[in-house]
Structure 1
Amino acid sequence: MHVTPAHPTVAAFVDAINAGDRDGFYATLTPDATMADDGNDRDLDSWVDKEIFQSDGRMDVESTSPDGLSLTARYSNSTWGAMRTAWSFTISGDRISRFETGQA
């Protein structure tokens, strides 16, 4: 089952990942956006390259909070295969200033 996040910026983030659209992905982020994976801050650009775009990352959203700022998804890429993940987003204006992900 595919669920669309309620927040339009988060929905655009997911859509860009699934389309392999690097420019569209970065358009959803603030220029100084940060991220964490499994509770550890990571370098956003190198993480995004490795975990999303160089490894054909895909998100199948299973559930989302009413405000759309957190979700659970089946995330898959060619490096790790598929796993259930949790994502949370901080919005600044109409862009994501921080996202955090990890196994759910």
Structure 2
Amino acid sequence: MQMIPIDELTDPAVRAFVQAVNAGDRAAFRDALTTDATMSDDGTDRNLSAWADREIFGANGHMTVDEQSGDGLALQARYRNDAWGEMDTTWRFTVSDGRVSRFDTGQA
């Protein structure tokens, strides 16, 4: 499967989110989100801050995007971290005022 370079992701908020995850940049991650952003993992709502600490920043999380929807708000990606290894995942984003207000992720 062909990887999509981050700078070719269609939606600027999604692009900023993926860049922040891959850089391990907490400040950029917070900046990519609305202040009241929410999320779910495998269909269960999670505490976004605790989830990000555990799944991204505390475990060297990294996304390799394989596909994006036409509007850029849904991704198929290989996600890897030190806790779980690599897995195929889906990501769906809701964007409000240029920032991610919700994301839903899970195994593909």
TM-score (norm. length: structure 1)? 0.97
Q: Which residue does the alignment assign to 1:2?
A: 3
1:21 to 22, 25, 41: 25
Q: Could you say which residue in structure 1 is the equivalent of 2:87?
A: 83
Question: Gaps (5+ residues) in structure 1?
Answer: none
> Of residues 54, 70, 75 in structure 2, which corresponds to 1:71?
75
How far apart, in 2, do the equivalents of 1:19 and 1:28 lie?
Answer: 13
Q: Letter of the aligned partner of 2:62 in structure 1?
A: R
Count how many residue pairs are aligned between Structure 1 and Structure 2. Answer: 104
Aligned pair partner of 2:39 in 35, 38, 45: 35
2:99 corresponds in structure 1 to 95
Identity of aligned residues (%): 55
Residue pair 1:60, 1:74 contacting (<8 A) in 2 also: yes
Question: What's the offset of the Cα at 1:61?
Answer: 0.2
* Structure 2 residue 63 is the aligned partner of structure 1 residue 59: yes
- Tell me, what secondary structure is at the counterpart of 1:99? strand
Aligned partner of 1:49 in structure 2 is 53
Q: CA RMSD in A?
A: 0.7
